[in-house]
Amino acid sequence: MEYLFEAVKENVYVLAIWDSSWNSYNNCYFIVQEDGITLIDSSKEAHSEYLVQSLKQLGKSPEDVKFVLATHGHEDHVQGASILKNAKKYIHHQERSLIEYPEPDQFHFDLSNRGVVDNFEYLWVGHHTPGSLAFYHRPSKVLFTGDFLCFFGDPLSKDGLVSVGNDLRHEWLEFLRNGGVAKDDLNDFLNGLKAMNGFNVDVMCTGHGGVLVGDIESFVSELLNVGTKLQEIQVEN
Ligand SMILES: [Zn+2]
Ligand SMILES: [Zn+2]
């Protein structure tokens, strides 16, 4: 099995684990703070050895992780949390029924639709799962989108894991243009995008594959343009 561990920005790191059973990269993120490490998502239980190896590269161990913030309750985002015994683990309250492992009671379910947890602002994005959240780390201007917007099953950008990723942006726009977001979900998706553009984002970290650096606002605006046009066509029909 293959994994990549790279710096995204100062004190922010990505772990992208190649999951051959899903033919996708599954991502987690480490934010190094004065009082310990915060993890955004924690991958599958079977991949938790990669969490340990990544922490070791930072000179840390699983005991040093103080917070785990889960974007949603799918297995590839919550299971690894089981090895992080000292961490407070947070997820939106509507995700409880999705969690099979670890015991849902390991998580705090008090996140609602908008607020602050640890040093992160969070926002309910209402697409992918009922309680999907995006997290924004203001000091680094990094946005974590989970699977609301991700590159599941896609190869990395030709420019590398952490890059501008114009090829990936182009493909996502084509995907949307060709009906990749179901009609019934489009309104929620567009509302989530609008809310995200309220943050001043330098880097977009997604749940799977490429990490996009720079000019995120114009990428999100392009997605909004394409999505809004699709909606207009739907109304006309
Ligand atoms: Zn998911
Ligand atoms: Zn996922």
For 215-225, the pLDDT digits (tens) are 999 999 999 99
- The two tokens of residue 81 are 């949390």
**How far, in Å, CA of 190 to CA of 99, rounded?**
26
| Ligand 2: centre distance to CA 28 (Å) | 10
DSSP label of 139:
T
| Ligand 2: centre distance to CA 47 (Å) | 13
| Ligand 2: centre distance to CA 147 (Å) | 5
Question: Please, what is the average pLDDT of the chain?
Answer: 95
| Ligand 1: centre distance to CA 149 (Å) | 10
Q: Where are the domains of the chain?
A: 3-236
| Ligand 2: centre distance to CA 61 (Å) | 24
Matching residue, tokens 């990549």: 4
Best CA proximity match to 8, nearest among 202, 219, 218, 234:
202
Average pLDDT over residues 43-70: 97
Does pLDDT of 112 surpass 90?
no
Q: What is the pLDDT of residues 134-157, one digit of tens each?
A: 999 999 999 999 999 999 999 999
Does pLDDT of 17 surpass 70?
yes
- Which ligand is located closest to the Cα atom of residue 152? 2
Does pLDDT of 1 surpass 60?
no
Does pLDDT of 175 surpass 90?
yes
- In order of 18, 163, 196, 221, 222, the CA distances from 216 in angstroms are 25, 12, 10, 8, 10
Superfamily of structural domain 3-236: Ribonuclease Z/Hydroxyacylglutathione hydrolase-like (3.60.15.10)
Matching residue, tokens 């947890």: 117
Q: What is the pLDDT of residues 62-108, one digit of tens each?
A: 999 999 999 999 999 999 999 999 999 999 999 999 999 999 999 99
- Which ligand is located closest to the Cα atom of residue 98? 1
Burial (Cβ within 10 Å: 0-12, 13-18, ≥19) of residue 31: buried
- To the nearest whole percent, how much of the chain has pLDDT over 90? 93
Q: Where are the alpha helices (DSSP H) in the chain?
A: 48-57, 75-78, 166-177, 183-196, 216-236
Does pLDDT of 124 surpass 90?
yes
Matching residue, tokens 């310990």: 36
**How far, in Å, CA of 227 to CA of 131, rounded?**
22
| Ligand 2: centre distance to CA 67 (Å) | 19
Average pLDDT over residues 177-193: 94
**Per-residue pLDDT, 45:** 96
Residues with CB under 5 A from ligand 2 (ion): 76, 147, 207
3 state SS for 194-222: HHHCCCCCCEEEECCCCEEECCHHHHHHH
What is the band of 36 on the pLDDT scale with cuts at 50, 70, 90? very high
**How far, in Å, CA of 204 to CA of 162, rounded?**
10
- Which ligand is located closest to the Cα atom of residue 41? 2
